[in-house]
Structure 1
Amino acid sequence: MATQKKQRVCVIGCGPAGLCSLKHLSLQSDKFEIVALERNLWPGGLWNYTDMTGKDEYGIPVHSAMYKRLKINLPKELQEFPGFPYPSDWVSYITRDQCLEYLNDFMDFFDLRKYIKTNTLVREVRPITATDKTQWSVTYSDIRKLGETTEEVFDAVLICNGHDSSPNMPDIADMEKFEGKIIHSRDYRHIESFAGQKVAVLGMHYSGEDIAIQIMEKAKRVYACHRRQTMSPSFPESIIQKPTIVRMTERNAVFADGTEAEIDALICCTGFKYKFPFLQEGLIDIENERVTPLYKHMVHIDYPSLVFVGIPKQWNHFPHIHEQSRVAVAVLDGTAPLPSKEEMRKESDDEYLRLLEEGKPLRYAHFFGDGDRQWRFNKELAAWAGIEPLPPVMEKLNDFVMLERFNNLLGFNQMCYKITGPDSFEIIEK
C-alpha cells in the first residue's frame, strides 16, 4: 500500500495561536509537514515586550502592545492551555514576563522551536488553484535581507498573526490641530512618560481602565473619556470621568457634553483593526470589523485550506485558541467535515443577522465578550470536531471574576483562585 503524502502546512505567526496550532499539528507528524513563520526574533507574539514603538531597526512596524507594568486581566486559571498548567506557586494574576516564560516552556515541552523560522516577514499568500485542489504560494523575506524573497508552496495555511497590532484610531474633528501628544495604547510603555501632565484617556475597556489607573500615579490630572453606561463603583474618584471626545483644539479636548479641558496628551485606548497585509488582494473582505467569507470565524468558505485561528475578540484567549487549533487540524485531516459552500455562507450570514437583530453594533461580528457567547461557540466547535468542550468551571469562574473586577477594580487582581474540579473552584490565600 502506498504511503499517504503528508500535507505541507504553513503557520503564520507564533504567538499563542500559532504555538497551539504547531502543537496539534506536530502531534500528527505522520500527516503534516510543518513550517512556521514568525517576524520577531523570538516566538511569543505580542508577549515579547520591547521599549520600541513605531518601527524597529529594520523599518518593520513594532506590533507589540505590551507595556512595562502589564499584568494579565484574567487569572491564569482562565488563561492557560488545557493540559499545560502554569506553575502552581504563581499567583493568579501574573505579569507579562511570566506569561512569556510560560509560552517558552510550552514551546520547549512540545519541541516546537524546530518548526519556526524567526525574523521572517511574510510578503504574500496567494492561492494556486488546480483542477482538483488549491495549494498556496507563500512568499517571505528575512527581515535583515528585505531585498531577497523566498517562495514555498503549501497544501494549507493557518493564519495566526493576531489582531492586537493595527490601531483603530478614532476620527475626532480637528485632531490634527492638537499641539500635544497623541498616541494609541499600542505605543504606551511607561507611566513616567506622562509625569506632571494632564492626560485624557479615551476608551474605558480593560486597557483604558488599567492605563488610566497607572498613569494617575505620576500625571497631574487624568480624564477618563468613555461612552459606558456604568463604571465600576470603585473607579478612582481622582480620575475625572468625561463623555467621549468630539473635537480637539490646539490645547484642549472638547467633550460630547460641550465641556472642554486643557490637556497635554491623549491616549487612545480604542481597540484594534483586523489586518492581514500579506493576503492576496480580494482574498478576504473586512467591513465593520467583520472578516468574510469565514465559516465559524475560522475557515475560508471558498478556500477551506486557509484557516484562521484567533479571530474572536474579548474571550478567554488561551483556552479557546487551544480548542480552535484542535478544530483547525481536524478540518485539515477531514475529521471535522465541512458543509457545502452555500450552507457555510448561509450559516455565517444568519449568525451575523441575529446579532444585528439583537441590537449589537455592526462591528460585533467577532466580539465574544457578551453573555455566554464564547461558551456556546466552544460547544459548537467541540461538537463539530468531535472533541471535548472546555469544562463548565471555566464559565463559572469567568462570571465570578468579571463581577469581582466590576465591584473591586483596584483590588480584583490581588485575588487568587484554584480550580478544584470540572465544575468547581475556590478562592485561596497566597
Structure 2
Amino acid sequence: MEKSEHLSAFPDLFGPVVFEQNFWPGGLWQYTDMTGNDEFGLAVNSALYNNLQVNIPKEIMEIPGFPFPKEWNKSYITRQQCLEYLNMFADHFNLRKHIRFHTHVRNVQPLKEVSENGKSKWLLTFSPVNQMSEVKQEKFDAVFVCNGHDSNPYIPDIAGMDEFQGRKIHSKWFRFEEHFDGLKVAVLGCHFSGEDISMLVAKFAKKVIVCHRRKTEEFPPSFPKEIEQRPPFVRMTKDSVVFPDGSSEKVDAIIFCTGYRYSFPFLNDGLITIKDERIEPIYKHMVHIEHQNLIFFGIPRQLPYFPHFHEMAKFAIKLLAGKITLPSEEEMRAESEAEYQARLKEGKPPIFAHYMGDGHRQTEFNAQIAKLGGFEPLSPVIQMIWDDVMDERYMNIINTHEFDYLVTGPSSYRCLTPSKAKSRVSKAENVVRK
C-alpha cells in the first residue's frame, strides 16, 4: 500500500489501480484459521499463526511519516495490531478507492504498444475471485509486482514423505500450538519461524525435536534446553524420522519450517528466470533490466519491510516520472552479477542472492537506491536497532519479545530492560547507544 500512497500523491501523473485478491487491505497480515485453499479454490494467503507476535520491534517497522499509535507502548506488537496499522494507513491516505478487492490476476504481459515515454505498455488479465469464469483485460503504462515472497511454501523432497502416517504441515499452515498437545513433534528448519514455533509447541507437546544444520556457535545459547536439537533428518518411515547417522526417533507430527520459494505465476513466460532463488534480470533487487517499468516489491528478504518498501516506492515513482537515469542494461547486468558473486565468495549459498539479513547489506541497499533516487536514506537508528534485536535473539531468545525500545534521535535509541528478562547480558542493560 505504500506504493499506491506515493502514486496517489501525483494524480496528474499517475492513476494507480491496485489488484487485491482479498476482501480488505493487509495482505499477508490478514489472519484466518483456514488453511490450504479457500472457498474459491485459491490458496489461502495468510501465513500467520494465532498467537503470533511480530519478531522485530515496531520502532523499526514504522512507515516513515506515519507513526504507530502512541498508546501502543509495547515494542513487539501483535498480528492484530499490525493489520490495524495497515488499515489505518489505507484510510488516512484514502487508498481504498484505488483498490479492486477480491480480484485474481491471471497474467501480466508486455505489449508492442508503447506509452508516451517510449516504454512498453502492459496487458493485465484478471477475474473476480467469486466469478473466475469471467475474464477481463486492461492496459497499463507500468506494473508494480507486490505479491511478496511468503506465499509459496517450500517442503524438501525427503525419502519416505508419503510413507509417514503422522501429521505433517508447513509452517504456513501452522495456526494453534494447542493442536500438538501431548505429541512428539519434529520441527525441520530453525530460523525465525522454526525458533518461535518450536518454543510455542513445546508448551504443549510431549517432546519437541528441532532439526537444523546451524553450527553450534550460530545457534542461540539461550534456546530452551528441553527442546532437543538434531541434524536435519534424511528419511521418514511410517512413524519415525531417520537422521544421517542412522539413528531414528518416533514422532507423531512434523512441522516444516523450511521457508518459501519465489513465485510469480501471473508473469508472462520468459519475463524472468528463477534459479536457486536468484531472480533475473533484476537491478537493485527491484527493477526489471529489460522492462524498466516493471518493478518488484518484496524480493529482498530479512529486513524491516515497511520502511524499506517505502524507500523503494519513492525510488520507483521517481523512476516512472523520468527523474532517475539508470545505467545501461549491460552495466546493470554486470553490477547485479558482481553483487551476486561477492555473496558467493563470502560463502553464502545461491539461495541467499536477495537476503539482506547480514546487517550492513540493509544499509548499503538503502543507501544505493537513495543515492540513485536523489533522496535521503533511512535513519541509521533502524539498522542499529535491527542489529541489537539480532543480538538479543541470540543471547536471550525466550524473553526477546519483552524488550522495549525508545528512539531518541536519528542515530540513537534507548533499549529498556524488563523485569522478567533476568538473563539479559549486561552490555544491553538500560543502555543508550549512539
Partner SS, residue 46 of structure 1 = helix
Instruction: Please give the alpha-carbon distance, in whole angstroms, between the structure 1 residues aligned to 2:131 and 2:86.
Output: 28
Alignment check: 8 A CA contact 1:53 1:62 kept: yes
The residue type paired with residue 154 of structure 2 is: N
Match of 2:424 in 1: none
Alignment check: 8 A CA contact 2:359 2:383 kept: no
Task: Kindly provide the CA deviation profile for residues 77-120 of structure 1, in whole angstroms up to 9, marking residues without a partner as x.
Answer: 01111111111222100000000000000001111111000000
Alignment check: 8 A CA contact 1:309 1:328 kept: no
Match of 2:347 in 1: 359
TM-score w.r.t. the length of structure 2 is 0.93
Candidates 232, 244, 247, aligned match of 1:244:
232
Candidates 193, 199, 211, aligned match of 1:225:
211
Match of 2:432 in 1: none
Candidates 96, 104, 120, aligned match of 1:134:
120
Alignment check: 8 A CA contact 1:139 1:151 kept: yes
- Give how far 1:429 is off: 7.2
Please say which of residues 251-260 and 241-250 is displaced more in the overlay: 251-260
Match of 1:376 in 2: 364
Task: Kindly provide the CA deviation profile for residues 145-198 of structure 1, in whole angstroms up to 9, marking residues without a partner as x.
Answer: 000011000000000011101011112122111111111100000012111111
Partner SS, residue 297 of structure 1 = coil
- Give how far 1:270 is off: 0.5
Match of 1:61 in 2: 43
Instruction: Please give the alpha-carbon distance, in whole angstroms, between the structure 2 residues aligned to 1:177 and 1:419.
Output: 53
Alignment check: 8 A CA contact 2:103 2:129 kept: yes
Partner SS, residue 53 of structure 1 = coil
Match of 1:11 in 2: none
Partner SS, residue 130 of structure 1 = strand
1:86-105 counterparts in 2 under 5 A? 86-90=68-72, 91-105=74-88
Alignment check: 8 A CA contact 1:418 1:425 kept: yes
Instruction: Please give the alpha-carbon distance, in whole angstroms, between the structure 2 residues aligned to 1:426 and 1:351.
Output: 34
Partner SS, residue 381 of structure 1 = helix
Alignment check: 8 A CA contact 2:185 2:252 kept: yes
Instruction: Please give the alpha-carbon distance, in whole angstroms, between the structure 2 residues aligned to 1:182 and 1:281.
Output: 33
Please say which of residues 225-234 and 48-57 is displaced more in the overlay: 225-234
The residue type paired with residue 22 of structure 1 is: S
Alignment check: 8 A CA contact 1:63 1:186 kept: no
Instruction: Please give the alpha-carbon distance, in whole angstroms, between the structure 2 residues aligned to 1:324 and 1:350.
Output: 21
The residue type paired with residue 319 of structure 1 is: P
Candidates 246, 250, 263, aligned match of 1:275:
263
Match of 2:308 in 1: 320
Alignment check: 8 A CA contact 2:122 2:141 kept: yes
- Give how far 1:394 is off: 1.1
Candidates 62, 85, 91, aligned match of 1:80:
62
Match of 1:123 in 2: 106
Match of 1:310 in 2: 298
Partner SS, residue 250 of structure 1 = coil
Structure 1 residue 423 corresponds to structure 2 residue 426 = no
The residue type paired with residue 247 of structure 2 is: T
Runs of 4+ deviating beyond 4 Å: none
Please say which of residues 95-104 and 169-178 is displaced more in the overlay: 169-178
Candidates 396, 402, 423, aligned match of 2:384:
396
Match of 2:393 in 1: 405
Instruction: Please give the alpha-carbon distance, in whole angstroms, between the structure 2 residues aligned to 1:154 and 1:315.
Output: 30
Task: Kindly provide the CA deviation profile for residues 268-310 of structure 1, in whole angstroms up to 9, marking residues without a partner as x.
Answer: 0000000001001111111100111001111111111100012
Partner SS, residue 33 of structure 1 = coil
Identity %: 51
Match of 1:14 in 2: none
- Give how far 1:59 is off: 0.6
Match of 1:33 in 2: 15
Task: Kindly provide the CA deviation profile for residues 192-234 of structure 1, in whole angstroms up to 9, marking residues without a partner as x.
Answer: 2111111001111001000000011111110011011132121
Alignment check: 8 A CA contact 1:55 1:62 kept: yes
State the aligned residue count: 412
Alignment check: 8 A CA contact 1:63 1:166 kept: no
- Give how far 1:133 is off: 3.1
Match of 1:15 in 2: none
Partner SS, residue 349 of structure 1 = helix
Partner SS, residue 86 of structure 2 = helix
The residue type paired with residue 133 of structure 1 is: K
Partner SS, residue 194 of structure 2 = helix
Instruction: Please give the alpha-carbon distance, in whole angstroms, between the structure 1 residues aligned to 2:313 and 2:140.
Output: 18
Please say which of residues 392-401 and 275-284 is displaced more in the overlay: 392-401
Instruction: Please give the alpha-carbon distance, in whole angstroms, between the structure 2 residues aligned to 1:358 and 1:233.
Output: 25
- Give how far 1:363 is off: 0.7
Structure 2: 5+ residue stretches without partners: 419-434
The residue type paired with residue 51 of structure 2 is: R
Match of 1:106 in 2: 89
- Give how far 1:341 is off: 1.1
Match of 2:422 in 1: none
TM-score w.r.t. the length of structure 1 is 0.94
Match of 1:343 in 2: 331
- Give how far 1:258 is off: 2.8
- Give how far 1:138 is off: 0.3
Instruction: Please give the alpha-carbon distance, in whole angstroms, between the structure 2 residues aligned to 1:349 and 1:129.
Output: 29
